[in-house]
Amino acid sequence: MKKNKIFTIMLILLLNAFSLLSLYSALHKGGELTDKDIFTKQIIWIILGWSLVLIIYFVNYRIFYDLSIWLYFICLILLMMVAILGKIQMGAQRWIQIFGITFQPSELAKLAAILIICRNFTKDRPPSASLAKDFFNEVILPFTPVFFLFLAIFIQPDLGTSLILIFLFMMMLLACGAKKRNIIIFFLIILLAIPLGWILLKDYQKDRLLVFINPNSDPLGAGYTIIQSKIAIGSGRIFGKGFLSGTQNQLNFIPARHTDFIFTVFAEEWGFAGCLILLAVYYLLLKIILDTAKLVKDKYSYVLCIGIFSLFFIHIFINISMILGLLPVVGLPLLFLSYGGSYTLINFILIGIFLNIQKYVR
């Protein structure tokens, strides 16, 4: 198992390297960094992240079982603060400042959601004869805390992140031994809730949400961004244009190219071959997580592995699909590659927990 741990660390280090390479490309002009701040900040985030991994590695992961409730309520309170502050300022608000550090509670919510779902899925509930009660025990009970997080983020409004939580719950539900019958009922309920949710919104809220489905509407809207990002990716062809040679990105064609659209930078400069390598790294990382899940002895670490896997997979899949124009543009970063303090640190915490689980696998 030691081999697997080292392998995991190598994969993450590779992703860090890809991230810094792409960030440098995204931020340079003629080979020189134009926005040094962002670049150095990301380096600091990565270093901080690894220190977090180190700390978590030496603490038994079971501590998160007890911590999860605290983290959940703190997260919920922070989210409500953001919502209220946002209301006061008459605009959408995602960031919050504590001791001069700005961070996004909606990112923290992803971690809180995984941990609280894991806690709920680990508890053994006696099977019930009544169909309704069984459904309640297996699905509604663990879903309730997620739903509150969902609501708090949804009203910010941050449609992308709030939907992630729903997807996350669905994937974990699939893998954690709920009865097929219950899963199908739940999926049906979610399907029915979509039009209902839309009707409940007021006109101006819909308007606002539509803006937030396309957060990159500057300077001219998501549709335009997608055309440009397709050109950038496509023009990379098989071997790419080479490091610092991506013309599309350099010409400011793509907004948010150091965060949500960082994949376009990578794909333009390293081509299909580079993308294959990146996807292989992602694939291997996900494979190790699932393999470990098979080997663990207790249910809690199994569910944790599934949670980490699900969140990582959702971010990889939705981010790249939206950049390729296969999904609508929602503001969602790419796993370990996008710039962003809160998101990077949350990912490192999850990796720390995962390495810790691996430690106990014989």
Closest CB to another protein among residues 229, 347: 229
Q: Work out the angle at residue 138's Cα, subtended by the Cα atoms of residues 134 and 144, and round it to the nearest 5 degrees.
A: 120
Closest CA to 293 of 311, 308, 314, 283: 308
CB neighbourhood size of 176 (10 A): 19
Closest CB to another protein among residues 40, 252: 252
Q: How far is the CB of 305 from another protein (least distance, A)?
A: 10
| DSSP-derived secondary structure for 106-159 | HHHHHHHHHHHHHHHHHS-----SSHHHHHIIIIIHHHHHHHHHHHHHHTTT-H
Phi, psi of 46 (to 5 degrees): -65, -45
Which segment (4-12, 31-39, 303-311, 341-349) binds another protein by CB under 8 A? Answer: 303-311
Q: Which of 217, 284, 296, 359 binds another protein (CB under 8 A)?
A: 217
Asked if residue 122 binds another protein (CB under 8 A), the reply is no
Q: How far is the CB of 132 from another protein (least distance, A)?
A: 25
Burial class, 118, CB count within 10 angstroms (exposed 0-12 / middle 13-18 / buried 19+): buried
Closest CB to another protein among residues 18, 212: 212
Asked if residue 127 binds another protein (CB under 8 A), the reply is no
Question: Binding marks (x or -) toward another protein, 170..209, rule CB under 8 A?
Answer: -x--xx---------------------------xx--xx-
Q: How far is CA 291 from CA 62, 119, 178, in A?
A: 20, 21, 20
Closest CB to another protein among residues 80, 174: 174
Closest CB to another protein among residues 46, 83: 83
**Six token digits for residue 190:** 């979610």
Q: How far is CA 146 from CA 56, 76, 94, 273, in A?
A: 24, 10, 18, 39
Asked if residue 298 binds another protein (CB under 8 A), the reply is no
Q: Which residues of this chain interact with another protein, rule CB under 8 A?
A: 90-92, 171, 174-175, 203-204, 207-208, 211-212, 215, 217-221, 223-224, 227-228, 230-238, 247-248, 251-253, 267, 271-272, 275-276, 279, 282-283, 286, 290, 293-294, 306, 309-310, 313, 316-317, 320-321, 324, 326
